[in-house]
Amino acid sequence: MAEVVAVIASTHHPFYYRASTATGEDRPPFADEWVRKVLAFRETLTRARPDVLVMVGSDHFHQLWLDNMPQFLVGKAPFYDANFYNEEREFGLPRLVCRGQEELSAYILREGLDAGFDLAFSNELRIDHSITCPIITLRPQNDLPIVPVYTNIFAPPLPQPKRFVQLGRTIRELVESWPADQRVAIIGTGHLSLELGGPRQFGPHGPDPEFDRKAVEWISSGDIEGCLAEVTLDSLHLPGNATHGFMDFMLMMGVAGDGRKADYVDTYDLFHTMEAYFTWYPDGGGRS
Partner 1 sequence: MSKYLLNKFLFTVDRDPELVERYRADPRGTVEWWESAYANRILGCHAGESSTWLQFDEVEREALGSHDYPRLFELGAHPFLTLTLFIAMFERDHPPLGFQREYARRVGHVRLPYPDIAT
Binding site for partner 1 (CB under 8 A): 60-62, 65-68, 84-86, 89-90, 154-157, 196-203, 237-238, 241-242
* Contact call for residues 192 and 274 (beta carbons, < 8 A): yes
**Nearest to partner 1 of 198, 226 (CB atom):** 198
Write down the least CB distance from residue 238 to partner 1, Å: 7
Burial class (CB in 10 A: 0-12, 13-18, 19+), 74: buried
Write down the least CB distance from residue 155 to partner 1, Å: 7
**Nearest to partner 1 of 3, 128 (CB atom):** 128
**Nearest to partner 1 of 177, 235 (CB atom):** 235
Write down the least CB distance from residue 197 to partner 1, Å: 3
Q: Which of 189, 173, 181, 177 is nearest to 255 (CA)?
A: 173
**Nearest to partner 1 of 3, 195 (CB atom):** 195
The contacts of residue 191 (CB under 8 Å, 6+ apart) are: 11, 242, 243, 245, 246, 248, 249, 273
Q: How far apart are CA 260 and CA 219, in angstroms?
A: 9
What type of residue sits at position 80? Y
Write down the least CB distance from residue 205 to partner 1, Å: 14
